[in-house]
Amino acid sequence: MNFFINATMPDHKSGIEHAQLKRLMLFNDHQTDSRIVLREWDPIAHLNANAAGISDEQLINMFDYFQEATAVQAKPVSVGDIDFGVFNTNVIDDPANKRFLVTDPAGKLVARVNYDANDAQRVRSTELFDGFGNLYQVAHYDSRGFVSLIQWYTPDNKIGTETWLTPTGRVALETFNKHTMTHNNDLIKTGWRLIEADGTVMQFDTIEELTLHFFDRLNDDFWSAEMPNVFILDRAHLGDWGLLHLKKPAYTVMHLHNSHAGDAQDPMHSMVNNHYEFALNTLDQFDAVVSATHKQTHDLQLRFAPKTHLFTIPVGVVPERLLNAPRVPVAARTFGKVIAFARIAWEKHLDDLVRAVGIVKREFPEVTLDLYGYADPTDDYKARKAVENAIAEYGLGDAVQLKGYTTDIDAVENEAMMYGLTSRMEGFNLAIMEAISHGLISFSYDVNYGPNEIVQDGVNGNVVAYEDYQALADAMLQVLRDPELAQRYSTGAYASAARYSEANVWAAWRELLDDAKATWPAKLAAIPNHAMVK
């Protein structure tokens, strides 16, 4: 079995989630069994996963697994289905806050029932109050219609104990919080208790230990003497320690989705990216490390000289339907329309893209920029404010639009002419791969890793010096002044997308899976009495 490990599967997905979805489809297309494995509790995980094309059969959430809830027939709960233990309650809709207020005959608050206004007022959680008006319990409902998590509150209004239930109501998992001896008197988790259906109780000090137990169980459940289970870790902090301490062998893969260096422009000498610190210090304990670009694989080898196997596998796939789709000539596109698909976040540096467009607009007033992506709230939406300030600085109020998140990529990219990317660091960048597959002329900073490999200077666009938005503007201007050059770059974009065809990307994954199979006999032989192992 092939496991792709992540935190959760949100509605608004990052590049890692998109990469996993494309990989899942690729493995499915080649009849190679795989599962998306999610470590974090998420009451709408199945809702979002199903909407993204992941079936319940291919989704394993750690909490669902222990709650015996991997496969549950959905039956959403409405407020009328809940018994609050009080006779003759009144239910008052409070649509502004997306909740119902439940009171007793005397008007005293019994409960608040929070609902999803976009899903027929499906109950999301209930907040229960005692006779003195104190909150004492919050019950969170899984979108499939059962109480999944109950949080019990202390007299000082802090979460004391949390219990996760099976769909039948049996307590399957508990965690306990206590106050720290800090000036904030914060609450921290002091342990996890797992209660099995047969009454067996197991205690874990940390969620990392619980995660290791989960991985061991998965490894047992899908054990085969012919082929190892392949664990592909897409977010290092979720399981790097756990995968290195499995009871039985498996084929473990660390997947780098970003620069291994804190300063991507100095990959040989800068401090390592803190998200990968543990993994980079234990590289040789993994069976394989995957990078999305040849340049990063080269830099990893040069800096760390690992003994483990290094593979270069693009995280994206350009499907055959796009490779064979009718090509839209530049003349049929909106002249001067620049687009970008990216979170409005510090690392994307989109304020520089706005500045470049501002310079270009002085010569070509028809130029516009559409930014597709949600705003990162970090530092009180600092990145979005930087974009807004750049818009104001260059007087681009009518030319630059923040479009928000969209999935209608084909229509947008078949209309636009150019794609801009001004990131400070990348691990691949699916968006610019999709841009060239739609024939968009792409412009990027010379940034590690991905953009300076996907964009081929003078072939499908231009790569300019890092953080030089004037050079970016000059490259755009050159294309806008020369229709023949623009069409040549667009034609080059369509052609260069073939590097990421399904056949090419699958061949790269096949090489890794073949390595897993080739190394398996030696691993089996190293297990004492391995013939007796399940």
Of 199-208, 312-321, 349-358, 523-532, the least confident? 523-532
| Position 18 in a domain | yes
DSSP string, 317-366: -B-HHHHTSPP--GGGS-TTEEEEE--BSGGG-HHHHHHHHHHHHTT-TT
**529 in a domain, yes or no?**
no
Residue 524 forms part of a structural domain: no
CB-based burial, 400-431: b 16+ in 10 Å, e otherwise: bebeeeeeebeebbbebbbbbbbbbbbbbbbb
Cα 16 to the center of its chain, rounded Å = 4
- Residues whose CB falls within 8 Å of the CB of residue 95, separated by 6 or more in sequence, listed in order: 117
63 and 88 part of one domain: no
226 in the same domain as 327? no
pLDDT in tens, 294-340: 999 999 999 999 999 999 999 989 999 999 999 999 999 999 999 99
Tell me if residue 73 falls in helix, strand or coil.
coil
Residue that finishes a domain, picked among 285, 312, 339: 312
**Residue 450's CATH number:** 3.40.50.2000
The reply to whether 383 and 397 lie within a common domain is: yes
pLDDT level of residue 532 (50, 70, 90 thresholds): very low
Pairing type for strands 90-94 and 59-61 reads unpaired
**Which residue, 206, 236, 254, sits at the end of a domain?**
206
| Predicted pLDDT of residue 184 | 63
Report the percent of the chain where pLDDT is more than 90. 89
The confidence score (pLDDT) of residue 408 equals 83
Q: Is 433 a residue whose pLDDT tops 90?
A: yes
Mean pLDDT of 99-114: 96
Q: Are residues 30 and 98 in the same domain?
A: no
The rounded percent of the chain whose pLDDT value lies above 70 is 97
CA distances from 148 to 134, 140, 249 (A): 22, 6, 33
Q: State whether 170 and 280 are in the same domain.
A: no
Angle at Cα 106 formed by Cα 101 and Cα 108, nearest 5°?
40
Do 355 and 494 reside in the same domain of the chain?
yes
Q: How far is residue 376 from each of residues 18, 405, 407, measured CA to CA in Å?
A: 18, 12, 18
Tell me if 531 is assigned to some domain.
no
Q: Are residues 53 and 125 in the same domain?
A: no
Q: What is the CATH number of the domain that holds 99?
A: 3.90.930
Q: Are residues 472 and 376 in the same domain?
A: yes
Last residue of a domain, one of 288, 312, 336: 312
* 513, part of any domain: no
Contact 40, 7 (CB under 8 A): yes
Q: Region 416-427: what's the mean pLDDT? A: 94
Across 508-528, b (16+ Cβ under 10 Å) vs e yields ebeebbebbeebbeebbeeee
For residue 175, the SS3 value is: strand
Report pLDDT digits (tens) over 155-212.
888 899 999 999 999 999 999 888 665 556 677 888 999 999 999 999 999 999 999 9
| pLDDT in the model for residue 192 | 96
Q: Are residues 220 and 250 in the same domain?
A: yes
Is 506 within the bounds of a domain?
no
Domain range for 259 is: 2-73+209-312
Calpha distance 509→497 (Å, rounded): 18
In-domain check, residue 517: no
Q: Say if residue 343 is in the same domain as residue 215.
A: no
Q: Report yes or no on 49 lying in a domain.
A: yes
pLDDT higher than threshold 70 for residue 350: yes
Nearest to 51 by CA among 105, 92, 11, 96: 11
The CA distance from 354 to 362, in Å, is 13
pLDDT, average across residues 513-525: 95
- DSSP assignment string, 271-325: PBPGGGHHHHHTGGGSSEEEESSHHHHHHHHHHH--SSEEEE--S--B-HHHHTS
pTM to 2 decimals? 0.90
> If we measure between CA atoms, which residue out of 323, 320, 326, 289 comes closest to residue 305?
289
- Please give the Cα distance from 49 to 61 (Å, whole number): 11
- Residue 13 predicted with pLDDT over 90: no
Q: What is the average pLDDT across 334-359?
A: 96
pLDDT of amino acid 51? 94
CA 487 to chain centre: 35
Q: Compute the mean pLDDT over every residue in the chain, rounded to the nearest whole number.
A: 94
Residue 345 sits in the same domain as residue 305 = no
438: confidence class by pLDDT, cuts 50, 70, 90: very high
Structural contact between residues 182 and 167, judged by C-beta atoms closer than 8 angstroms: no
In tens, the pLDDT along 14-35 reads: 889 999 999 999 999 999 999 9
- Determine whether 130 is exposed, middle or buried from the number of CB atoms within 10 Å of its CB (0-12, 13-18, 19+): exposed
Q: How many residues does the chain have?
A: 534
Do 380 and 483 sit in the same domain of this protein?
yes
Domain count, the chain: 3
